[in-house]
Chain A
């Protein structure tokens, strides 16, 4: 059942983080409550006729509003589901990095400003589809490249609730790219970091320590959940294949609409659908890695 809403929502906070990253929080109860892990939002800057298209962004987290959080604290002892109802999420958070004109304009948003949001969208990390696989595995390995981290927090929370062991491999260009680590710490049994300039963790790509880890633990079974640039996805899929682990990918692409009509975000995928192409916005963004066809045409992008 598709549940998406087109809403104009108010910015609650647009917090700058390191390395040109921002955490945008908007007040949007309906969208926050409908959100499932791995889904995304299409963000529209209002009042601009030069920047037309919405920007696709992973939904990083959903939270109760500050006010409600305070209220619920005083009422936690009341019987019935009252407090849990009050704690239903009302805030939707998007973690983004300035990469172009749209995100540069987003960085100027201030509390009280309005943005257009169509959300939640896409086929995300849906537990019913991977949980059996995750339970069979010894551990779930999250592999994030840069802003790809934004797609992995909600599934990590899901897995933590289900009592699944997990570990995070997170790479960026510099240490400033390694945002959101505090949120992952309570959820995972270990964090491995890499930066291209060596400013934190392993120097180089994150797939190198990942391979070392897989090599050291050959007897174990893992489920990989990967989000990041295409080259990193490609390298991760090769490793998963080489060591015999299954792998879920959260893909990115330019999108025109986010709801499946423009066919602008299609990637080459095995199986049925729209010919041999499937829409990242609708059939994805999350795909089993063996479905995606790693031709150069799919890769040479980011």
Chain B
């Protein structure tokens, strides 16, 4: 498949000996699972998703942060934001709704109070950036540019829980191009763009971001949903609508990653309901060269590290390197022949 080869080529392969070692390998085969996105090298393809991992330090007592591929910090805006009134979250079947409203300390305090700790880690630091207008995004980036230790930005044009900005940009290809172009021009670090799944055709937005200079795409943010308390006849979350995340969204998010992987040339980071290594591998086979673990961090903080181990074990068992897996979905072959259905 020409398409598949092209996809592999766009991710700079980390290992020059990958092919030969895969062939000559015996039981001592050591797979390479590091990955490179827009020139940023990640020791493994597992990052923690924005808004689910704070500023990293909160989990320092629970897991080895240095074993993560990267940490994407909570969305940062130029000025501090206080967020939405409570209640902000609600659990649903195999998922959760949230409408936090991007409460954050603002770019200046992030640099002063949060980044110094993140800098001490070997793990890559990706800063999620949010604004209400193109000027806001640019202003946040200009402040953050002073931050040594930031490896990349993730432009959040997809938050469903703020009244303007965010998803307004993510819904409109023209606005997407505008904000990505301006942000790319301002950014001192590579720019990932996080897209909203709440669109008719996500490939349109993906292409718009790519043509405006995005270095990579993070797919996807939460799905707009809601829940109602039928006794009180009130919404369960004060914002009325809220973003759905967790295992419930995985099949839909995976489909979007697959579609976009065929539509753009820039690398894709797959996000949506990843709770196991198998989930992550599905995204990688669909075309993602890295993944982010989100909601699972809340209830099982060790998930990301388990995913790393599981990907490595899978690669060893299959005698492949990560780069061989990316976009390796075989759509012509014998479907459903594997007995490993969950």
Binding site for B on A (CB under 8 A): 2-6, 44, 49-54, 116, 118, 253-257, 259-268, 274-277, 297-298, 301
B62 is contacted by which of A6, A253, A256 (Cβ under 8 Å)? A6
B314, CB-defined interface residue at 8 Å? no
A254 engages B90 (CB within 8 Å):
yes
A52 engages B59 (CB within 8 Å):
no
A259 engages B103 (CB within 8 Å):
no
Question: Which B296-336 residues have C-beta < 8 A from chain A?
Answer: 297-302
Chain B residues near A268 (CB, 8 Å)?
Answer: 85-86
A266 engages B83 (CB within 8 Å):
yes
A261 is contacted by which of B53, B87, B300, B302 (Cβ under 8 Å)? B53
A260 engages B58 (CB within 8 Å):
yes
B95 engages A52 (CB within 8 Å):
yes
B98 engages A2 (CB within 8 Å):
no
Chain B residues near A52 (CB, 8 Å)?
Answer: 91, 94-96, 246-247, 295, 298-299
Known A44-B299, A253-B87, A274-B103: A261·B94 in contact at CB below 8 Å: no
B52, CB-defined interface residue at 8 Å? yes
* CA gap between A253 and B53 in the complex, in Å: 20
B275 is contacted by which of A3, A4, A49, A301 (Cβ under 8 Å)? A49
B90 nearest CB across to chain A (Å): 7
**Closest chain A residue to B90 by CB distance?**
A254
**Closest chain A residue to B247 by CB distance?**
A49
Chain A residues near B83 (CB, 8 Å)?
Answer: 263, 266, 274-275, 277
Chain B residues near A51 (CB, 8 Å)?
Answer: 91
* CA gap between A268 and B95 in the complex, in Å: 26
B162 nearest CB across to chain A (Å): 14
**Closest chain B residue to A42 by CB distance?**
B299
B147, CB-defined interface residue at 8 Å? no
A253 engages B300 (CB within 8 Å):
no
- Further pairs besides A254-B90, A261-B54, A261-B58: 10, Cβ < 8 Å: A3-B61, A49-B247, A261-B297, A262-B52, A263-B51, A263-B83, A263-B100, A275-B83, A297-B86, A301-B87
Chain B residues near A276 (CB, 8 Å)?
Answer: 82
B89, CB-defined interface residue at 8 Å? yes
Chain A residues near B74 (CB, 8 Å)?
Answer: 261, 263
A118 engages B62 (CB within 8 Å):
yes
Known A6-B301, A253-B87, A261-B297: A277·B82 in contact at CB below 8 Å: yes
B25, CB-defined interface residue at 8 Å? no
Known A50-B94, A262-B89, A274-B105: A6·B52 in contact at CB below 8 Å: no
B272 nearest CB across to chain A (Å): 14
By DSSP majority rule, is chain B's interface helix, strand, loop, or mixed?
A: loop
A4 is contacted by which of B62, B90, B300 (Cβ under 8 Å)? B62
A35 nearest CB across to chain B (Å): 15
Chain A residues near B103 (CB, 8 Å)?
Answer: 263, 266, 274-275, 277
**Closest chain B residue to A257 by CB distance?**
B298
A2 is contacted by which of B52, B53, B61, B82 (Cβ under 8 Å)? B61
Ordered by A's residue number, 29 sampled pairs between the chains whose C-beta atoms are within 8 Å are A4-B61, A5-B61, A50-B93, A52-B91, A52-B246, A52-B295, A53-B91, A116-B300, A254-B89, A254-B91, A256-B96, A257-B299, A259-B59, A259-B62, A260-B54, A260-B58, A261-B297, A262-B298, A263-B103, A264-B88, A264-B100, A266-B86, A266-B88, A267-B86, A274-B104, A275-B81, A276-B82, A298-B86, A301-B87
Known A3-B61, A6-B62: A53·B298 in contact at CB below 8 Å: yes
Binding site for A on B (CB under 8 A): 51-54, 58-59, 61-62, 74, 80-83, 85-91, 93-96, 98, 100, 103-105, 238, 246-247, 275, 295, 297-302
Return the 4 tightest CB-CB contacts between A and B, nearest first.
A275-B82, A261-B54, A264-B89, A257-B298
* CA gap between A215 and B94 in the complex, in Å: 51
* CA gap between A276 and B58 in the complex, in Å: 20
B175 nearest CB across to chain A (Å): 27
**Closest chain A residue to B93 by CB distance?**
A50
B299 engages A53 (CB within 8 Å):
yes
Chain A residues near B88 (CB, 8 Å)?
Answer: 254, 263-266
**Closest chain B residue to A264 by CB distance?**
B89
A274 nearest CB across to chain B (Å): 5
Chain B residues near A298 (CB, 8 Å)?
Answer: 85-86
Chain B residues near A3 (CB, 8 Å)?
Answer: 61
Known A254-B90, A297-B86, A297-B238: A262·B80 in contact at CB below 8 Å: no
* CA gap between A212 and B90 in the complex, in Å: 39
**Closest chain A residue to B83 by CB distance?**
A277
A301 nearest CB across to chain B (Å): 6
* CA gap between A145 and B95 in the complex, in Å: 31
**Closest chain B residue to A268 by CB distance?**
B85
A285 nearest CB across to chain B (Å): 14
* CA gap between A54 and B103 in the complex, in Å: 22
* CA gap between A232 and B114 in the complex, in Å: 37
* CA gap between A49 and B274 in the complex, in Å: 12
* CA gap between A297 and B234 in the complex, in Å: 13
B89 engages A259 (CB within 8 Å):
no
B59 is contacted by which of A49, A53, A261 (Cβ under 8 Å)? A261
B96 engages A53 (CB within 8 Å):
yes
* CA gap between A301 and B95 in the complex, in Å: 21
* CA gap between A276 and B62 in the complex, in Å: 28
* CA gap between A262 and B98 in the complex, in Å: 9
A297 is contacted by which of B53, B85, B104, B275 (Cβ under 8 Å)? B85
**Closest chain A residue to B53 by CB distance?**
A261
B98 engages A256 (CB within 8 Å):
yes
**Closest chain A residue to B298 by CB distance?**
A257
Chain B residues near A277 (CB, 8 Å)?
Answer: 82-83, 86, 103
Chain B residues near A5 (CB, 8 Å)?
Answer: 61
* CA gap between A51 and B100 in the complex, in Å: 21
**Closest chain B residue to A46 by CB distance?**
B300
